[in-house]
Chains A and B, each alone.
Chain A
Amino acid sequence: MPMYKVKPVSPADIKIDVPSCMYKSPNVHGHGMNCGEHALQNGEVDPSLKALEERQDEVLRRLYELKATVDGFAKTVTTPDADLDASTPSPGPAESVFKGTADLDSLLGKDLGALRDIVINANPARPPLSLLVLHALLCQRYQVLSSVHVHSSVSAVPPPLLSCLGPRHIDSYARQRFQLGFTLIWKDVSELQMKFSTQSMCPIEGEANVARFLFRLLGAEPQDPAAATQMDCWIDKAVFQLSEGGSKDRAAVLRSLNAALGRSPWLLGQEFSLADIVCACFVLRAGQTTSAPVNVQRWLKSCQNLGHFDCVYPFLQ
């Protein structure tokens, strides 16, 4: 005879109303499981589950692609003349903006079997930002062997300056495989200097002049003399007024930039050119871009969207 009797707390036969929006899964603990189903425990997937997963992956992938396309279109709309391949999901460097061709042999002299090495001596206190942008553009067009050295006249250089040309090329031990060499030497020089063929060329001085030389290698110089003159004019404005001028000069340049950019997406009209590269770099270096006029800010954002200016941002305070 039981000692205590406990009244049942809940009746044994409560009818539970199962909500219809949930799905039924087979009772794992129930009887009726045969050995065949135990095999599933070893990591094999039930074919129907597999199909479900695949459908889910497919849907997600299409979702990502759609998102990327929308992103790309957004950029295209805000950035004129951007040749973005809208289906690439990752925002890597844009494809070459410049479609012209340049004959390296006629510009740099006949290839005598040696690497055609462009040597640039720059002061680490004033990194030449426009040349870094041009270097990135050159790397897209040609096989460029880039190297950075520190001259003995400088005792130490901050690490970002040592890696400003990107990671060392895997094949850098075989100099002959490259069409062009780009050697940047951090040196105690008063004026930036470029040397190429010391026997037949005198050195080129000044960041703007070296930029003009490198731009020529891309074969994208404006053919129209008026446009070419305008480009030179903008570059000179950047060098003499933005960089070397006082605050009044700077303000004047920003105003004229604003005016020009109100009329067209880029400084020379519809085409992105060296004027945009040099002016943007000098404006960025001068700082205070948040207080710049509206068109200038929009233009700077467009430059950034092109992807070529990524190498420059680590050097802006």
Chain B
Amino acid sequence: MQYRAGEEEQQAQSKKALKKQQKEAEKAAKKAEKQAKLAAEQQEADEDDFAKDRYGICPMVQSQQKLDRALVRVQDLTPEKAEQQIWVRARIHTSRAKGKQCFLVLRHQQFTVQALLAVGDRASKQMVKFAANLTKESIIDVEAVVKKVEQKIESCSQQDVELHVERIFVISQSEARLPLQLEDAVRPEGEGDEEGRATVNQDTRLDNRVIDLRTTTSQAIFRLQSGVCQLFRDTLINKGFVEIQTPKIISAASEGGANVFTVSYFKTSAYLAQSPQLYKQMCICADFDKVFCVGPVFRAEDSNTHRHLTEFVGLDIEMAFNYHYHEVIDSITDTMVQIFKGLRDRFQTEIQMVNKQYPSEPFKFLEPTLRLEYKEAVAMLKAAGVEMGDEEDLSTPNEKLLGRLVKDKYDTDFYVLDKYPLAVRPFYTMPDPNNPKYSNSYDMFMRGEEILSGAQRVHDAQLLTERAMHHGIDLEKIKAYIDSFRYGAPPHAGGGIGLERVTMLYLGLHNVRQTSMFPRDPKRLTP
């Protein structure tokens, strides 16, 4: 009995063992197969890679040698270069392998071109595989023949040509996992929601600003912003203005004590300038007549809105006038109109590119600029149903409504509002000579949002002292400022704009962080 049971057990065991053996045998067979396959492939690879020296990863460019090689820019790849063999350095925007072919889209700044790598007598399978596996955003050098295409390549900026790649080398490889995808970053918001595709939210963009700035939209925005700054300078220099640089570390808060950053200054503390106001005026008293300055402005305002930054670039103007401060308003509005004209005439490509992702109405303006008086604005608002006092300041929603009413009637996105009530302006604003309740001050608006606040300044030390006392300001703190008017000061007026805000409003964007390269706000200090 025992033996039979044992036999049965043995039989069972042996069955199990058999099964086990079978399995192992299968495994071994599979492994052997795989190895054989690999070996075969390796052999194949070693055997057939005739294109081994036409691709690869270059050693890091440490200026080892001076290559006499001209690199053609992607934007210059046009049908005129057809059949030419050229070298291009660009980033890999996308790569897509399809059997024996690999399609690459190469990008340099705003320009993209399609490149094709196909297995043939110039490229081997391994080469195509190598190209297909390159990570996006890697910088590569490509030698290729430019070929004309019959059907336009709609998805690229260079629509009439494509590159047939002969050699491909990696100059700088990118990590495989990108924190954000550029295609997502350029996708318009609506499209993203509709098709269920991703768009990138603002915080992610700002955290990875280096990659976000590579998008065509960002490139266009900041090139346009550079144009704004340049047009500002050129127009004013042509009008006889002098550019000045004012100090940013100052001893006393200029606009008011509340919104100022303090820095430690050796044994005491100092402040970061809220505006170049004081120094602009001092330059006028020093006989420079017409000055402007471009520089950072620091406002410690704890406002988390779409249009406030703690640090921004201020473009400020100050000008002495002969008899009426309207001479200055005319000068400032003419400068703004020249900037708008310059952008309209020379930066259409950039404007269109931004509009692809952020569609908006083109910016409209009148020449000469429309100037309305505060009383007119109040009447217009009252006619539209708003309840407000005659001397009340305009709230932001009222400003926006007024912008729409002006747009309706005059079809302009830019206008000046003159003669604000005295009570809502700073202490150095000159009161209106005919009506003490009003002042010689003005605001300028773009698309219904304020971009410039300016006024005729009080240039008489005594009146200035009175006004300061009326506003309850400590005279000791502004003694140096008042002193500058005691030795003959010409009548003058001026104003300042924020570069980022003007760019944002010109393009019809909705957040000033889109037009500030590395924005600063109460919650963001890096990058």
Contacts and interface: CB of A to CB of B under 8 A. Distances in A.
Interface string A174-217: 01100000010101000000010111100000000000000000
Interface string B477-496: 00000000000000000000
Interface string B340-363: 110011000000000000000001
Contacts of B326: 173
A150 interface: yes
B61 interface: no
Contacts of B344: 152
B380 A152 contact: no
Contact of A185 (B366, B371, B375, B377): B366
A110 to B, nearest CB: 9
B410 A119 contact: yes
B153 interface: no
A258 B154 CA distance: 63
A183 B379 contact: no
Instruction: Label chain B's interface by main secondary structure.
Output: helix
B364 A152 contact: yes
Nearest to A154: B367
Most buried by B among A117, A151, A152: A152
Given A114-B380, A119-B410, A198 B405 contact: yes
Contacts of A195: 408-410
A152 B383 contact: no
B382 interface: yes
Contacts of A176: 373, 375
A112 B340 contact: no
B383 A115 contact: no
B410 A185 contact: yes
B81 interface: no
A122 B520 CA distance: 46
Given A149-B368, A175-B373, A199 B340 contact: no
A115 B409 CA distance: 14
A199 B384 contact: yes
Interface in B124-181: none
A149 B411 contact: no
Contact of A198 (B375, B376, B377, B409): B409
A147 B408 CA distance: 18
A183 B364 CA distance: 17
A185 B411 contact: yes
Contacts of B377: 114
Nearest to B404: A198
B16 interface: no
A175 B364 contact: no
A199 B383 contact: yes
A173 B324 contact: yes
A195 B382 CA distance: 18
A151 B379 contact: no
B506 to A, nearest CB: 12
B375 A152 contact: no
A155 B341 CA distance: 9
A250 B405 CA distance: 42
B364 A198 contact: no
Nearest to A175: B373
Most buried by A among B368, B371, B380, B409: B409
A64 to B, nearest CB: 39
Contacts of B375: 113-114, 176
A152 B366 contact: yes
A90 to B, nearest CB: 31
Contacts of B368: 147, 149
Interface in A118-175: 119, 121, 147, 149-153, 155, 173, 175
Interface of A: 112-115, 117, 119, 121, 147, 149-153, 155, 173, 175-176, 183, 185, 187, 195, 197-200
* A-B pairs with lowest CB-CB distance, top 4: A114-B379, A114-B376, A112-B379, A149-B366
Interface of B: 324, 326, 340-341, 344-345, 363-368, 370-373, 375-380, 382-384, 405, 408-412
Given A151-B366, A175-B372, 15 more contacts: A112-B379, A112-B382, A113-B375, A117-B376, A152-B363, A152-B365, A183-B410, A185-B411, A187-B411, A195-B408, A195-B409, A199-B383, A199-B384, A199-B405, A200-B383
